[in-house]
Amino acid sequence: MKDPIDINRTAHIVQFTVMLENKVGHLSDLVLLLSNNHLHLIALTLLDTTDITAVRLVVNYPDQAREVFRTHGFLFHEHAVVAVEIESEQDLKCVTCALVQAEINLHYIYAFLMRPGGKTGLVIRCEDPDLAEDVLIKNNIRVLSDKDIAR
């Protein structure tokens, strides 16, 4: 699928889950705040309930985003996720098959909004990110690091 990858590389990506009150304009305010602090949304997905929206996001500079969230009083959580690069639907099949064969439970997957170089990326939250990285790399799937998504 891709060129061989250094198996010793650790590539966890930080995903933030920011809790927002489910009111008109709150997501827009969050996006504007990130933009005003020169943070780029790399990946984004929402989980909406009646009262709260959980905004799962990946940004280019997680340390800076963490500080912005703290400074502005946002309730947020962080998780290590695995990010991979895919070129086609066939690559998605390779990713999911490799993880299933290794019996790695997937919690959720969502796509990148953008990526330098024009390739598609996936964010994968699973029960064992270290094992998932090893399995994916051994299957010649390009695992992305924070350096790959920084701008």
Token pair of 109 as six digits: 């997957």
> What structural domains does the chain harbor?
14-79 (3.30.2130.10), 81-149 (3.30.70.260)
The pLDDT assigned to 22 comes to 87
Residues of the chain below pLDDT 70: 1-11, 115-116, 151
Q: Contact at 8 Å (CB) between 39 and 60?
A: yes
Q: Contact at 8 Å (CB) between 110 and 45?
A: yes
The pLDDT assigned to 10 comes to 53
Pairwise CA distance, residues 134 & 84, whole Å:
12
Q: Which of 53, 48, 57, 63 is nearest to 20 (CA)?
A: 53
Q: Which amino acid is at 14?
A: V
The span from the first CA to the last CA of the chain, in angstroms, equals 25
Residue pLDDT, tens place only, 95-111? 999 999 999 999 999 99
Residues 6+ apart with CB under 8 A from 112: 42, 43, 58, 83, 120, 121, 122, 123
Please state, in angstroms and as integers, the Cα–Cα distance from residue 146 to each residue in 11, 15, 131, following that order: 7, 11, 18
Query: How much is the pTM?
Result: 0.86
Please state, in angstroms and as integers, the Cα–Cα distance from residue 48 to each residue in 19, 39, 54, 66, 130, following that order: 10, 23, 6, 22, 29
